[in-house]
Amino acid sequence: MSTVATIEKAGQKQAVNQLEQLKKFTKIVADTGDIAAIREAQPLDATTNPTLIFKAAQMPEYRFLLDKAVADSKNAPLSPQAKLSQITGDLLVLFGVEILKIVPGRVSTETDARLSFDRDALIECAHNFISLYQKHGVARERILIKIASTWEGIRAAEMLQKEGIQCNMTLLFSLPQAVACAQAGARLISPFVGRILDWYKKSTGKDYAPADDPGVQSVHRIYAYYKKFGYPTEVMGASFRNAGEILELAGCDLLTISPQLLAELKGSTAPVPRKLDPAAAAKSDVQKLDLDERKFRWLFNEDAMATEKTSEGIRNFEADTVKLEKMIAERL
């Protein structure tokens, strides 16, 4: 006989689904470009990336955003590639503006993956996004600029944060990346749980229970490190493969979850115990790690999983950006 979580209402016990239980100690973020799915989930924030926007832009109900982005810049006196880049940026922001009409918090908009090793270009891209949002009446406090957690990306975030532009450090797979982001003052990090699991399953041929999931354990270490050493950078678990990973991170600052897994959590009333607690994490025995560029690059290089998955993620986002630009070029 399975147990369920209940609440007392009007003298009667009512079952509470896992998503509502999770919201008691974790901020829920929707991981999608599908505006209808965001409206259904009612999250606090939302995250997007080139892959999600490319998928959403192909859906008939969002074709008007693509049409608007193309129309606004179609006659701009720019080179073909510059025009494609401008329209792509406009489209990402238009999706963000629509999303912010639904969520009460923030939306994450991703920089071009092809800029991942160019600090100054990343800063310019972020400035462009903020300027575009401001033209739509959106304050910078509601925007998170997503940047890959390369050394150059982290340095860009450090400078942007000093300007009051909040950054979401993505494609993060290791503690050294997380520590460098915290030292740089990044607002938020997005460790990719599921992609870490993918790498270990492929390299070992093993399956992992949620509690033993290498991606879950990575977030536990990062969370403990931040809480012990008092870093204000938020930890947002991302890229989940199953609901079990999510439940093992109950209590994380934020979790960004796909519509499919949000629906799965809503469909279960099994109890959700808290797994991450700041007071307990502050007592952990993790050791302080002070990083400069040399040490960061060495430790990152020593971690085959983090090195491979970061590079792969950059390549995949670049490929989807190119697909998006091709779609736009056809409209032009």
| Residue 1: inside a domain | no
Instruction: Give the pLDDT of residue 79.
Output: 86
Q: CB under 8 Å to 290, separation ≥6 — which residues?
A: none
Instruction: Give the pLDDT of residue 11.
Output: 52
Bridge-based pairing of strands 6-9 and 188-191 is: unpaired
Range of the domain at 244: 18-331
Beta bridge partners of 256: 29
Q: CB under 8 Å to 302, separation ≥6 — which residues?
A: none
| Residue 31: inside a domain | yes
| DSSP run (H or E) holding 12 | strand 12-15
Residue 135 has pLDDT above 70, yes or no: yes
For 9, 16, 21, 243, the CA distances from 6, given in Å and listed in that order, are: 9, 5, 10, 20
Catalytic annotation present for 146: yes
Residue 216 has pLDDT above 60, yes or no: yes
Instruction: Give the pLDDT of residue 1.
Output: 36
- pLDDT tens digits, residue range 265-321? 999 999 999 999 999 998 999 999 989 999 999 999 999 999 999 999 999 999 999
Of 15 and 97, more confident = 97
Catalytically annotated residue among 83, 146, 275, 309: 146
Largest pairwise CA distance in the chain? 68
Cβ contact 222:191 at 8 Å: yes
| Residue 142: inside a domain | yes
Instruction: Give the pLDDT of residue 8.
Output: 56
Q: Which CATH number covers residue 44?
A: 3.20.20.70
Cβ contact 87:329 at 8 Å: no
Residue 166 has pLDDT above 50, yes or no: yes
Q: Range with the lowest mean pLDDT among 49-53, 138-142, 187-191, 220-224? A: 49-53
Residue 170 has pLDDT above 90, yes or no: yes
Nearest partner of 45 among 243, 256, 232, judged by Cα: 256
| Residue 12: inside a domain | no
Q: What is the DSSP string of 112-141?
A: PGGGTT-HHHHHHHHHHHHHHHHHTT--GG
- Rounded-to-integer distance, Cα 68 and Cα 213, Å: 43
- pLDDT tens digits, residue range 233-277? 999 999 999 999 999 999 999 999 999 999 999 999 999 999 999
- The domain total for the chain is 1
| Residue 72: inside a domain | yes
- pLDDT tens digits, residue range 102-111? 999 999 999 9
Nearest partner of 27 among 273, 265, 252, 277, judged by Cα: 252
| Residue 4: inside a domain | no
| Residue 2: inside a domain | no
Report the predicted TM-score, pTM, of the whole model to 2 decimal places: 0.92
| Residue 11: inside a domain | no
